[in-house]
Amino acid sequence: MNGFVIGIIQQSLIFSIAVMGIYITYKILKFADLSADGSFTLGASVSAILITKGMNPFISLGFAMLAGAMAGVATGLLNVKLKIQDMLSSILVMVGLYSINLRIMMGKANLPLLNQESIFTDKNILLMLCIITFICAAFFTLLFKTKLGYLLKGIGDNENMITSLGINTGSIKIFALSLSNAFIALSGGILAQYQGFSDINMGTGTMIMGLASIIIGYNIFRKINLSNSSIFCIIGTLLYRTSIALSLRFGFNPSDLNLISSIIVIIALSIGNSRELLANRRRYSLGKEKFKYLLGLKKAGSRNA
Amino acid sequence: MLKFENISKTFNKGSANEQMVFNNFSMDIGKDDFICVLGSNGAGKSTLLNIISGKTRVDEGKMILNGIDVTMDTEYEKCKRISRIFQDPSLGTNPSMTIYENLSMAKNKGKRFGLSFLINKKDEEYFKKILGVLCLGLEDKLNTPVSQLSGGQRQSLALIMAVIGEPELLLLDEHTAALDPKTSEIVMDITEKIVKEKGLTTIMVTHNIDHALKYGNRLIMLHRGNKLIDISGDAKNSLTKKELLGLFKDISDKNLFN
C-alpha cells in the first residue's frame, strides 16, 4: 500500500511538469495546442537515445527540452506565419512528430534503458523529483510576475490590447508555445528515465491528462484566489493520477484509461458548468418568490380596500 | 506632424465587389490639431483610422509621421508611437487583470517587456494621481479586476492607459458610441481635459454632431474618400448644427440619385 501511494506521488510530480506546460497554452494563451502528445514522446525519445549513446542524463534532459521547444516553434510558425488555425497547426505537428520520434529511436517502437545511468541512479527518487518539480514550479510562478509573463496573459485575454502596446504578438506566441512544449518534453524525458524505457506511444493521452488535471485543479480552487497556479497544477495532477490508479485497482484494463480520462474531463467540466446553472436557478427562484410576495401584497391591499 | 501624400486604397481589388475607398487622398495634420471626423457610413472614416494605425495597408501613397516615413510599418511598430481607443470598451483593457496591472502594462508601452518584474510598488502614488483626474473613484479600486468595471469606467481607464505612454498621436474611434448619453458626456469631458493638458494631437471619429461641433479645433467631413469640408478655428466655431445637418442631407440626396 505504501509503495502504491509513493508511486502515485512520484508519477504525479513527473506529469505535473507537463501539466504546467499545457497550462501555459490552454489556460493562459487560450491556444488549443494538441501537439503535447507528440512532444512528450519527443522528450522521452531524445533523452533515451542520448543516454544510450553515453551522455550525462541531466544534459540529455536539456536536449529533450530543446527538442520540445523546437516542436513548439514549429507549431507557432505554422500558426503565426502561415496563418493555419491553432488547433490544425498543432495537429499537423503532432502527426509529423510521430515519424520524427521513430527516426530518433532508430526505427524501434521501444527503447529500453537497461543498466544505463539515469538521474535517479544512487539517489532518492522522490526527493529528486520533488527538487525538479519545485524548480519548474518556481520558474513558472516567477515568470508570470515578469513583464514577459504579463504579455502572455494579456495575449490570451485581449490580443488587441497587447498589439496596441507596440508588441509583436506573433513572436510572443511562438515563444510561449516553445516554452510550453519544452516543459512537456522535459516531463517526457524524466518519465522515460523513471520507467527505464522510451516508447513510441507513451505520449498518447498527454493532452487529455493535462486538461483533466487543470480542470480538476481549477474547479477545486475556483473559490480560493490563488495567485500561484503551479500549485493547483500539481494538486490537480495528483488527484487525477490517484483516480486513475484507483480505477486500475478496481479492475479496469490499462487500455481503458483513455476512456476513463475522457469521462473524468466530462464530469469535471459538467460539474463546473452545472454549478453556474444551479446558481442561476437559485437566483431565478429567489426572484420568483419576490414576485409572489409582491402579488400577495397586492391581494392583501385589494382585500383591505 | 502627420502627412498623407496621395493615398489610394481599394478593397477586393479585381473582384466584382471592388470598392475604392481612397483615391489620391492627401491631408496634413498639425501638431496642435484636435480633429473631429464626420461622415456617413462607408465614407472611409474607419479605413482612415485603420490606415493610420497600420491595420490596413495602403495601395499607393505615403504616410509621414513627424518626418519619418511609416507607410510600410506593421501595426505593432506604429502602435509604439500611436494610441487608439475603440468603440468597444472591452478592446482597450485586459479584463482579467487588475487596474494596477493594466496601468503598469500601459506605462511600459514602447519599451522592452523583458524578465524584470512588472509590478512596481513605487507606481502606486502616480497611478492614484492620474486616476484622480477622472473623478470616478477608480483610485481606490487599484486591485479590482477590470472585468468588474462598467463600460464608462473601462473606457475612461482605456483613455488614461492610451495617453500614459505619451503617444505622438491619439486616435479615438467613436469611443463614446457604446456608452449611455450621460456617461458619454462624462467621457468626452475627460477626453478634452486630458488632450488639452497633455497637448496631444488627436483625431476623433464620431457620429455625434453635437460632439463634433463642441470639441476640437478642426472638423473634417468625409464623403467617399474625399474631404467634403475641412474647416478649422473660427470658421468651425461659427458652424451651426443646422448647416451640418443640411450637408448630411445633401450627401444622402446625392447618394439617392447616383
ipTM score here? 0.86
pLDDT at residue A85 is higher than 70: yes
Mean per-residue pLDDT over chain A, rounded: 88
**What is the distance between the terminal CA atoms of chain B, rounded to a whole angstrom?**
37
Cross-chain Cβ contact A161/B115 below 8 Å: no
Q: What is the CATH number of the domain that holds B164?
A: 3.40.50.300
Query: What local confidence, expressed as pLDDT, does residue A242 receive?
Result: 92
Min Cα–Cα distance to chain A from B111, Å: 8
pLDDT score for A305: 42
Residue A119 sits in which domain range? 2-203
Give mean pLDDT, residues A189-215.
92
Cα–Cα distance measured from residue A125 to residue A9, given in angstroms and rounded to the nearest whole number: 11
* Residue B126 belongs to a domain: no
Residue of B nearest to A146 (CA): B117
Domain-embedded: residue A302: no
Nearest CA in chain A to B95: A157
A183 has pLDDT over 80: yes
Quick check: B113 and A161 CB within 8 A? no
Q: How many domains does chain B have?
A: 1
Using the predicted structure, report yes or no on whether residue A281 has a pLDDT greater than 70: no
In a domain, A180, yes or no: yes
Of A143, A151, A160, the CB nearest to B113: A151
Amino acid A276: pLDDT:
66
Residue in chain B closest to A227 (alpha carbons) equals B97
User: Is residue A72 included in any domain, yes or no?
Assistant: yes
Q: Is residue B21 assigned to a domain?
A: yes
Within a domain: residue B112?
no
Select from A29, A143, A146, A147 the residue whose CB has the most chain B CBs within 10 Å, as the one to mutate to test that interface: A147
Interchain contact, A150 vs B105, CB within 8 Å: yes
Q: What is the pLDDT of residues A25-48, one digit of tens each?
A: 999 999 989 999 999 999 999 999
Contact at CB, A167 and B74, closer than 8 angstroms: no
Q: Mutation test of the interface with chain A: which of B53, B76, B144, choosing the one with the most A Cβ atoms within 10 A?
A: B76
CA–CA min distance A43, chain B (Å): 26
Predicted pLDDT of residue A153: 92
- From the candidates B118, B121, B154, which should be mutated to test the interface with A, based on the most A CB atoms within 10 A? B118
Residue of B255, B254, B250 whose CA lies nearest to B229: B250
Strands of the sheet containing B68-69, edge to edge, are B19-29, B2-11, B60-65, B68-69
- Helix pair angle (B151-164, B99-107), 10° resolution: 30
Residue A267 lies inside a defined structural domain of this protein: no
Alpha-carbon gap: B254 to the closest alpha carbon of chain A (Å)? 37
Q: Assess if residue B181 is contained within a domain.
A: yes
- What percent of the residues of chain A are helix, what percent strand, and what percent coil, each to the nearest 5? 80, 0, 20
What residue ranges of chain B have pLDDT lower than 50? none
Q: How far is A274 from chain B (nearest CA, A)?
A: 22
Q: Which domain holds residue B65?
A: 2-93+158-257
The answer to whether the Cβ–Cβ distance between A161 and B110 falls below 8 Å is: no
Q: Are A173 and A31 spatial neighbours (Cβ–Cβ below 8 Å)?
A: yes
User: Does the beta-carbon distance from A161 to B108 stay under 8 Å?
Assistant: no
Is residue A14 assigned to a domain? Answer: yes
Distance from CA of B145 to the nearest CA of A (A): 12
All cell numbers assigned to A21: 506546460
Task: Report the number of distinct structural domains present in chain A.
Answer: 1
Closest CA to A156 of A191, A136, A180, A134: A180
Measured from the Cβ of residue B90, the count of other Cβ atoms closer than 10 Å reads 18
Cβ-based neighbours of A280, under 8 Å, separated by 6 or more: none
**pLDDT at A288 exceeding the cut of 60:** no
10 Å CB burial of residue A149 (0-12, 13-18, 19+) is: buried
pLDDT at residue B239, as a whole number: 83
Res A162: pLDDT: 93
